Structure formats: C-alpha cells, structure tokens
Structure 1
Amino acid sequence: MDVALELLWNVTDALVQLLTQPFYYISILFILVFYRQQMLMERKLFHVRLHSWGLQAWRTVIGGLAAGIGVSIVMAFVGFSLTQEAIICIWVVTLMLLLIGVRYLCLAYTVGVLGVLQFILGFFPNWQPDSLIGTTTDTVRALDIPALVILVGILHLVEAILVKRQSTSLAMPLFIESKRGKLVGGFQMQFFWPLPLFLMIPAQTAGNLLSWTPLLGGEGWASGFSMLALPVMIGFSDLTQSMLPQNKAKITFKRLLFYSVILLLIGLLSVWWSPLMIVAALACFLLHMGMEWMSRIEEQHQHSLFVHATQGLRVLSVVPKSPADELGIVPGETVLKVNGVLLHSQEQLHRALRMNAAFCKLEILNLAGESKFLQRPMYAGDHHQLGVILAPDQDVSDVARLNPANIYLIIGMKLNTRKRSILRGHDSALVNVGTGAGVRTDTRVEADTSTRTGSNMSTLSVLPQDTTLAIVETAATQTDEIKAELRDEIKAETMKVTSTHGSDVAKVKATLKDAEATNTDEVIKYPWDR
C-alpha cells in the first residue's frame, strides 16, 4: 500500500514537472504550426481544404499521449537513470538539430549525437573546463547512453504502430515533378508525435522499495525510486508517388520494426560491454537515415501511380464529406465514364457533369481493375468535381518543392511550393511568364499557326522570362509569315476567278479588299467561302 501511494505521489510530481517545463509546450506548438502550414499548402495546390489542421494536431497529440503512457510502463521494468540537467541537454541538442532540418526532429538523432560526443570526450578525461561548458561536459559524460538507445528502440517500436494506424489519415497529397520533369501526384508522409514520458529513476534519498528490480540500474534501486518527466519527439519523413499511403505505411512499419529490434539488441549488449556504446550511438541515426535513403531509391526506380491512364482519370485524393466520399471513391481508383462519356481530360469531366445537372452516373475502375457503377443526385453547393482530387494535368501552375522542409518556412507560414510557367494549346495558346512576384504576362498566339506549320504548342516547363518572350516573338513572326502566304493564295485564286468570270471582277476586288482589311486576330478566309 505504501509503495502504491508513493508511486501515485511520484506520478503527480512528474506531471507537475511536465507542465512546468517548456519542452512539451514547444513540441505541441510545433505540431499546431506544422499542420496549419499543411492546410495552407492544400488550399494552394487544390483550392480546397482536405484536412482540418486542428483535428490533425489533436489526433497526433492524443496518439503521442497514449504512446507515452505505454512507453513509460515498459521503461518502469527496464530501468533508467536521468537528471534534470540531462533533460535540458537532450532538448538543447534537439532544437539545434531542428534548426538544421525538420526531418532531424527525432530522439534517435539526438541520442546518436550525444553518444558520439560522449565517445569523443572519453579521449580527454582530464579536460575540465569551467562555467557552463564544464557543466555541459559533465552532463554529457554522465549520460546513460545504453539506456537512451534502448529507449529509442522502444519509442520506434511504438512509432511503427502509430505509422501503421494513423498514416492514411495524416498523409498529405501533393502535385510534384518526377525526375523526368513530368507532373505526377504523390503523398507526403511526414509524421511527428510529442510523447510525455514518466520515467522511474533511482531515488537520491531513502524511500520505499519497488516490488520488482528493473533490468538496468543495479544497486541504485536499493534506496528507493522517484519519477522524472521527459517530453520527447519522434518522427519520420517519407514521400511516395508509386504506391498508396496505406501500402507505403506497411513497408515503413516493417522497417521501423526491424530498426527498433536492432537498437534494442545493440543497446542491451552495450550495457555489458561498454565499447559497443559508440556502435549503438552511430546505429541510432545512421540506420534511421538509411531507411529514408532506401525509400527514396525505391521511389526513383518505380513507376508513378498517380498519373492518368490512356482512358479515364486517376483519383489522387477525395475531399471528406463530399459526394465522392459518400459514393465510396478512394485514392488510386480511375474515373472511367461520367454520364456515359469516356473521359480523357478534366475538361471532358466538367462537360459530362453539365450534361445532367440533376443526376450523375459514374463508371469507376477500382484498385483491383474491376468496374463499379455508381450514381447519385446532384445538389446545389456540391463540389464541381464531386469532391474528387485528380492526378495533375501538365498545365498545373503550382507544384510542391521536393527539397526538405525547414523550421523557418514553417514558422513563417511560407509554403514549400513553386510556380510553373506553362503554354497551353487548344483554341489558343497561352504563355504564362512568371516573374517570381506573382505577375504574369499573357500572350495569345493563333491556334491556326501551329496547325499550318505542323507544330504542337505543348506545355512548357519552367523557363526564364527572356526565353519565354523569345518563344512568343518567334510564334508571332511565324503567324505573320503564314498570313502573308494566305494573302498570296487569295490573290492567285482571285486571278483565276477574274480570268473565268470577267463580269465579276469588281466584286472580287471588293472582296479582296475586305479580306486584306480583316482583323489580324482572325484567320483570313477565301472569297468563295464567304
């Protein structure tokens, strides 16, 4: 009974420590800002909000809280040795790594760096600097690296479970450019969880003894126990364009599981053989980086999933509570027909939906390649594409950057996107010249020019302004040359008409005069077609 009361008192004391420390609040604030930026990015790319940043943050915090309680229970049997100075040291290194890159916001990188520092300080046992540097040096030397490595292994075992359970709801769709410059759809799978840990440590003064002996700590538990609050962050960054988020999560789950087992084994071995501590520290961040590197290599050698097929339009995502969501359409499926119209472009989708403003019939190819037929009445206020976010066409103007996000972009709410200059060719070709300040110059070139010259005004990738203007000037010059050829043809045909129908000479001359005065924005027609 006394042990239970003391345990309850220590838990309450650790909870007060957690609430009085700034580190848990920093981690929650980061989560809020991170998902707020993601929501703004969704609006930029898709012009609609797909996720609620508040709900996403709530899911992450609750998941991290549950995981933290579970890890704390496990660590009560493992044992741990930690001080308040060590907690501050861990968070200082964590924040310094955060300034380098958001992807390093994980305890695995922090423990790896501290383990390497401790190994280096071991070569200078007599170095005892004064003031803050001396205190920091003593704190790093006193860190229980094997226990921290074991903690990282247990945390990533929990992270594997969180990735498998929450990745589908947390993954964010993107428009990105493949390595060949083609626009494709993809998903950013960047997850972070703040975990409050309540760690049982050997007491500094006499107290009640535990009814069990933790694995680590040895004789230190002879004087009793106390508890310490340690808020930590775990996270993983990945990007997929070749598979569905749930399938990618299964692969990530297996890799994280393997990673955690390796760390647990090396951590336990380093408890009994200290030379392995540097191996355990290096394994913390090198294996973590290796998982991310392996994923990137795999993505580069696989075909993009979220591109349009020869027939139908591929679904990238679905707006929650939209008609498509109600009909059960999921990412990866293909919208084959709408109201009986076989689709090849988003313009055809819009026209097909307008054929019947009150009702729509869909033919969908599911993930197994089988057709399913759906129908639904249309209501005022429904999404113009039924809530379907399609894989990108090649004339999309905003795409996500592939460079890693950094804390400065997140704090400043700056989106990790860029503008693309595009050239469309249907009834007219539109050249968009991006100046980098949101200014655009639009130049219209006659579609007849590309038809008569045998060239197709296809979509341009990002070009400098001078290069784009040169293309416009060249197209305009070719247009003038073609108009001159047309006038010569008109004159030649007019001479034939004149020689055959002398009485109509005046009428033909008048027609020719009208043709030459025709607006330059219209294609000149032959007199006999008027």
Structure 2
Amino acid sequence: MDLVVAFGTRIAQAILLGLLNPFYWLAIVFIAIQYRRQMLLERRLYAVKMRSWLEQTWRAWLGGLVAGIIVSIAAVGLGAVIPSSVMILLWMITFVLVLFRVRWICLAYAGGALVLLQLILRLMPDWQPAGWIASWVTDLRDMNAAGLLVIIALVHGAEAWLVRKQAARFASPFYMDSKRGRIVGGYQMNMFWPMPLLLLVPADDGLTLPWIPLFTEGLGTSGWAFAALPIVIGFSDMTYTYLPQDKAKVTASRLYMYAAALLAAALLSNWWYPLAPIGALVAIAMHEWLVYQSRSEELGRSPIYTHDKRGLLIQAVLPGSPAEELKLQPGEIISKVNGIPVHTKEALHQALRANAAFCKLEVLNGNGDVKFVQRAMYADEHHQLGVLLAPDDNVSYVAAMKPLSVRQLFLSPWRKSNKRLEQASEEQMLS
C-alpha cells in the first residue's frame, strides 16, 4: 500500500508540473491557430464553415491526451529514461528546428539529432566544459540512446493510430492546379496533437521500481522519479488521388511500419551502442522518405476529384445539410436530378428548380453502382443540397501549396493574385 501511495504522489507531482509547463499550452495555442486558419480558408473558398475550429482543437487535445497516457505506460514499463536536462535540450532543439520548417516539430528530428550529438561527445571524452554546461554534457553522454529511440517509436505508433482514427474526419477540401494545367479538387489533412508524456528520470532519493526495466542498466542510480515531457505530434498531408479515409489508411500503415523499424533499431542498439547512431539516422531519413513517398505517389496517380461524362462528382458534403441526410458521400457522382441529366453546376440548379418541393437523385457510388435517393425540399436549405462539387474551370480561387513557416501562422492564410489563393501550408508532409 505504501508503494502505491508513493508512486501516486510522485506521478501527481509530475502531472502538476507538466500542466504548469508553458510548452504544453503554447502547443495548444499553436494547434488552435492552425485550425482557425483552416476554417477561414474554407469560408473564403466556399462561403461556408465546414466545422468548428474549437471542436477540432478539443478533439486534438483529447486524442493527444489518450495517446500520451498509452505511450507513457509503455515507456515507463520498459524503463525508457530521459534525464531532465536532456528534456530541456529536446525542447530547445525542437524550437530551433520549427523556425525553419513547421513539420520538423516532430520528435524524430530533435531526438535523432540528440543521439548523433551524443555520439560526437563520446568521441571527444577529454572535452569537459566548465560551468552549468558541464552537467548537461555529462547527462547527454550518459543518456540511454536506446530508450530515447524507443520513445520516438512509441510516439509514432500512437500517431499512426490517431491518423487512422481522426485524420479523415478533419480533411479540408481545396482546389488546385494539376500537373497538366487542369484545375482539380483535393483534400488537405492537417492534424496536430499535444501529447503529454510521463517518463522515468534518475533520482538518487527516488523510488525503487518493483520491476526490472529494460533500458536502465548501467545508469548508476539508486532511485527513480517521474517527469512530464509535453510534445507535439502531427500529420499533414494532401491528396487529390485518394479519398480522405483511404489516404489516412495508407499513411497510418506506413507510420506503423516506421514505428516498427525504429523500435527494432532501438532494441538492437540497447544491446550494442554503435547501432544507436544508425537508429537515429533511421529516425530522420526514413521520416523524410515517408514525405517523399507520399509526394511521389500523388504525382504518379490520376486526380479523382474531377467531373466526367457521367455527371458531377461530389468532393465534400457539408455537415447538417440535405446531402448528409441523403447519405451522399465524397467521390460519388450525381448523374440525374429529377430525371434530368446534369453535367454542369448550372444544369444542377435548373434541375433542382424543376421541382421546388421535392428532389430525386440518381447517384453513382464509388463502385459505379446506381443508387436512388430522394427527399422533400425546403425554402431555407442550401441551394446545392449542401454538396461541394469538384471544380470546373470557372472557380474563383485556387490554392497554391507552399511550405509553412512560423511567421505565416500569424498571417492571413491567403493572398489573392490572378485568382490564386496561396495557402501557407506544408505540401505533402508527415511529422
């Protein structure tokens, strides 16, 4: 019983200090700004609000909290240890990296850089700096690199789960130029999660663990305490060749693969240290490969959000609209309305006006099968049933994707130029 009370007290203290950490709250503010910018962009493009940015921020916070609890239990059980000074170094390196590219906020980059820095310090054993830096250098030299790599692997496993569960729900439609000069539809999928981690730290006056951790051998400590490490994980990608749920499934599978490969490298490096720097390179290089693979795959496939001779393709459905009530889905094609074939937005409007009190639609689903849906129409409802159609050549704005900088987070998310809407967003990135 005393052991339970002691552990509960230490964990409660660590959680309280974590909640007081400004990094955690800055991360939530960063996420809220991202979602508000997305909402403003949707209003500019489509004159509608697809969803509430407050709801998105809430869901991101809740998802990150659940994932953080799961990862913390696994990390503490394995004995993945990060000294407090190394945690501060992680935050500092992350802050510097995010100034250059927002997607580098990912723990893989800062953690991989720390493991490589540890290798450099171990190759210079005679270098002993003076002052307060000396303790940081000592802690970094003694850090268990395998434990840090395991934490990175667990975090990306949790990220894969969150992508699979939430990314498609918050996908945002946009219009863009294709490589052939046509205007096509697509989806930008931006998700960021603040993840509070609870990790073991060495403490000479700390607790004795009732189990034998895997990654604490040789650290020379008589006890352990808990410390909170708030981090931000994120997924941002764009697709014009997949439905959002299919893109999320593909990306989640690759992230699971990445997490498994990194976990294997971490376990091997715990057995033989020279494999740790290789694991750090795997963490960084394979992460970049995921970005390159997604980009190459999109370029090699044909856009799907375009109209064809069968009718008008549905790119998105507004929440709470008649289209949602009719169970219309993105990727389906409206072939006929009230018995009238439709191939343009003007034809759709005319067909809907042919019977102002009722509409009957002939729709082709993703498999090409025909389904019929119908309902009564009311005067105050969306003039287009609440569907956002794939673009034609007469759209007013086109999103031009470009890398996102920290400065652009606080600027307007668009700039009108030759009917272009240049969205400050990271093209096809994973973090």
| TM-score, length of structure 2 as denominator length | 0.93
Q: Shift of residue 206 of structure 1?
A: 5.0
Give the corresponding residue for 2:26.
26
Q: Which moved more, 1:25-34 or 1:220-229?
A: 220-229
Q: Shift of residue 354 of structure 1?
A: 1.8
Please provide the CA RMSD for this pair. 2.0
Give the corresponding residue for 1:218.
217
Give the corresponding residue for 1:477.
none
Give the corresponding residue for 1:16.
16
Given candidates 407, 413, 416, the residue that maps to 1:415 is 413
> 1:361, 1:256 → 2: CA distance?
43
Q: Deviations over 1:455-478 (max 9, x none)?
A: xxxxxxxxxxxxxxxxxxxxxxxx
- The code of the aligned residue for 2:406 comes to I
Give the corresponding residue for 2:276.
277
Q: Does the 8 Å CA contact 2:82/2:200 hold for their aligned counterparts? A: no
Please tell me whether Structure 1 or Structure 2 has the larger radius of gyration of its CA atoms. Answer: 1
Q: Shift of residue 205 of structure 1?
A: 1.0
> 1:187, 1:349 → 2: CA distance?
23
Q: Deviations over 1:308-351 (max 9, x none)?
A: 01231111111000000111001100111112221111111112
1:313 equivalent to 2:312? Answer: yes
Q: Does the 8 Å CA contact 1:400/1:418 hold for their aligned counterparts? A: no
Q: Does the 8 Å CA contact 1:111/1:145 hold for their aligned counterparts? A: no
Cα distance, 1:223–1:131 mapped onto 2, change above 3 Å: closer
Give the corresponding residue for 1:267.
266
Which ranges of structure 2 fall in alignment gaps of 5 or more residues? 423-431
Q: Shift of residue 54 of structure 1?
A: 0.7
Q: How does 1:7-406 map to 2 (within 5 A)?
A: 7-130=7-130, 137-205=137-205, 207=207, 209-218=208-217, 223-406=222-405
Please give the secondary structure, in 2, of the residue aligned with 1:184: strand
Q: How does 1:475-494 map to 2 (within 5 A)?
A: none
Cα distance, 1:132–1:48 mapped onto 2, change above 3 Å: farther
Q: Deviations over 1:232-266 (max 9, x none)?
A: 11122221111111111111121111111110110
Give the corresponding residue for 2:426.
none
Q: Shift of residue 81 of structure 1?
A: 2.4
Q: Shift of residue 292 of structure 1?
A: 1.3
- The code of the aligned residue for 2:282 comes to A
Give the corresponding residue for 2:427.
none
Q: Deviations over 1:111-142 (max 9, x none)?
A: 11222222233333333344566565445434
Q: Deviations over 1:44-71 (max 9, x none)?
A: 1111111211111111110000010111
> 2:157, 2:382 → 1: CA distance?
41
Q: Percent identity?
A: 43
Matched residue count: 422
Q: Does the 8 Å CA contact 1:213/1:221 hold for their aligned counterparts? A: no
Which ranges of structure 1 fall in alignment gaps of 5 or more residues? 423-433, 437-530
> 1:253, 1:351 → 2: CA distance?
43
Give the corresponding residue for 1:486.
none
Cα distance, 1:307–1:228 mapped onto 2, change above 3 Å: same
Q: Which moved more, 1:305-314 or 1:223-232?
A: 223-232
Cα distance, 1:74–1:373 mapped onto 2, change above 3 Å: same
Cα distance, 1:134–1:351 mapped onto 2, change above 3 Å: farther
Cα distance, 1:86–1:339 mapped onto 2, change above 3 Å: same
Q: Does the 8 Å CA contact 1:203/1:221 hold for their aligned counterparts? A: no
> 1:124, 1:216 → 2: CA distance?
24
> 2:405, 2:114 → 1: CA distance?
22
Q: Deviations over 1:268-299 (max 9, x none)?
A: 11112111111111111110110111111011
| TM-score, length of structure 1 as denominator length | 0.76
> 1:115, 1:256 → 2: CA distance?
21
Cα distance, 1:221–1:60 mapped onto 2, change above 3 Å: farther
Q: Shift of residue 144 of structure 1?
A: 2.8
Structure 1 stretches of 4+ with a deviation exceeding 6 A read none
Q: Deviations over 1:415-461 (max 9, x none)?
A: 15654459xxxxxxxxxxx9x9xxxxxxxxxxxxxxxxxxxxxxxxx
Q: Deviations over 1:400-423 (max 9, x none)?
A: 1221222221122x215654459x
Q: Which moved more, 1:317-326 or 1:220-229?
A: 220-229
